[in-house]
A and B are shown apart, each in its own frame.
Chain A
Amino acid sequence: MYGYVGKILRINLKERVANVEALDLEVAKKFIGGRGLGTKMLMEEVDPKIDALSPENKLIVVSGPLTGTPTPTGGRYMVVTKSPLTGTVASSNSGGYWGAELKFAGYDGIIIEEKADSPVYVNIEDDKVEIKDASNLWGKVVSETTDLLEKEYGGKVKVLTIGPAGEKLSRIAAIMNDKDRAAGRSGVGAVMGSKNLKAITVRGSNRKAKVKEPDKLKQVFSRSIKKIRDNGVTGQGLPTYGTAVLVNVINESGVHPTNNFQDGFFGNADDISGETLAEKYLVKKEACYRCPIVCGRYCKVDDIEGGGPEYETIWAYGSDCGVNDLGEIIKANYWCNELGLDTISAGATLAAAMELYQKGYIKDEEVDGPPLEFGNAHAVMEWTKKMGLREGLGDKFAEGSYRLAEMYGAPELSMSVKKQELPAYDPRGIQGQGLQYATSNRGGCHVRGYLISPEILGLPEKLDRFSLEGKPTWVKIFQDLTAVIDSLGLCLFTSFALGVEDYADLYNAVCGTDHTAQSILQAGDRIWNIEKLFNLESGLDSSDDTLPKRLLEEPIPEGPSKGWITKLDEMLPKYYEERGWDEKGVPTEEKLVELGLLMKTKA
Chain B
Amino acid sequence: MDIEVRFFATLREGRGKKVYLDYEEGIDSYNIIRLFKIKEEDVAILLINGRNGELNTKLSKGDIVSIFPPVGGG
Q: How many residues of B contact A (CB 8 A)?
A: 21
How far apart are the CA atoms of A457 and B73 in the complex, in Å?
A: 10
Q: Is the CB of A243 within 8 A of B74?
A: yes
Q: Is the CB of B51 within 8 A of A560?
A: yes
Q: Is the CB of B70 within 8 A of A450?
A: no
Q: Taking A231-B70, A241-B71, A453-B72 as contacts, is the C-beta distance between A249 and B12 under 8 angstroms?
A: no
Q: Is the CB of A237 within 8 A of B72?
A: yes
Cβ of B66 under 8 Å from chain A: yes
Restricting to B24-74, which residues have a CB under 8 Å from any CB of A?
Answer: 44-45, 47, 49-52, 66, 68-74
- Shortest C-beta distance, B33 to chain A (Å), equals 16
How far apart are the CA atoms of A246 and B12 in the complex, in Å?
A: 15
A310 / chain B contacts, CB cutoff of 8 Å? 73
B44 / chain A contacts, CB cutoff of 8 Å? 232, 457-458
B49 / chain A contacts, CB cutoff of 8 Å? 560
Other-chain contact of B69, A232, A244, A496 (Cβ < 8 Å)? A232
Question: Inter-chain contact count A-B, CB under 8 Å?
Answer: 90
How far apart are the CA atoms of A246 and B71 in the complex, in Å?
A: 7
Q: Taking A240-B10, A457-B45 as contacts, is the C-beta distance between A559 and B50 under 8 angstroms?
A: yes
Shortest Cβ distance from A233 into B: residue: B72
Contacts A248-B68, A459-B72, A560-B51 aside, 14 further interface pairs with beta carbons under 8 A come to A232-B69, A236-B69, A238-B72, A245-B71, A246-B72, A249-B66, A252-B50, A270-B17, A274-B9, A446-B74, A457-B44, A457-B72, A464-B52, A560-B49
- Shortest C-beta distance, B70 to chain A (Å), equals 2
Q: Is the CB of B12 within 8 A of A275?
A: yes
Q: Is the CB of A560 within 8 A of B69?
A: no
Q: Is the CB of A237 within 8 A of B8?
A: no
Question: Mind listing 7 A-B residue pairs with CB under 8 Å?
Answer: A237-B72, A242-B73, A248-B8, A295-B73, A452-B74, A457-B70, A559-B50
Closest 10 A-B residue pairs measured CB to CB? A560-B50, A232-B70, A243-B73, A233-B72, A237-B71, A245-B71, A252-B66, A246-B73, A233-B70, A237-B70
Q: Is the CB of A237 within 8 A of B74?
A: no
Cβ of A138 under 8 Å from chain B: no
B52 / chain A contacts, CB cutoff of 8 Å? 462, 464-465
Cβ of A447 under 8 Å from chain B: yes
Shortest Cβ distance from A243 into B: residue: B73
Cβ of A39 under 8 Å from chain B: no
Most buried by A among B8, B9, B73: B73
Restricting to A183-239, which residues have a CB under 8 Å from any CB of B?
Answer: 231-234, 236-238
Q: How many residues of A contact B (CB 8 A)?
A: 44
- Shortest C-beta distance, B53 to chain A (Å), equals 11
Q: Is the CB of A249 within 8 A of B17?
A: no
Q: Taking A237-B71, A237-B72, A246-B73 as contacts, is the C-beta distance between A458 and B45 under 8 angstroms?
A: yes
B51 / chain A contacts, CB cutoff of 8 Å? 560
Cβ of A547 under 8 Å from chain B: no
Shortest Cβ distance from B6 into A: residue: A252
Most buried by A among B8, B52, B66, B72: B72
Restricting to B1-32, which residues have a CB under 8 Å from any CB of A?
Answer: 6, 8-10, 12, 17
Q: Is the CB of B50 within 8 A of A241?
A: no
A492 / chain B contacts, CB cutoff of 8 Å? 74
The interface bits of chain A over 256-275 (1 if a CB of B lies within 8 angstroms of the residue's CB, else 0) are 00000000000000100011
A253 / chain B contacts, CB cutoff of 8 Å? 47, 50
A462 / chain B contacts, CB cutoff of 8 Å? 52
Q: Is the CB of A236 within 8 A of B8?
A: no
- Shortest C-beta distance, B45 to chain A (Å), equals 6
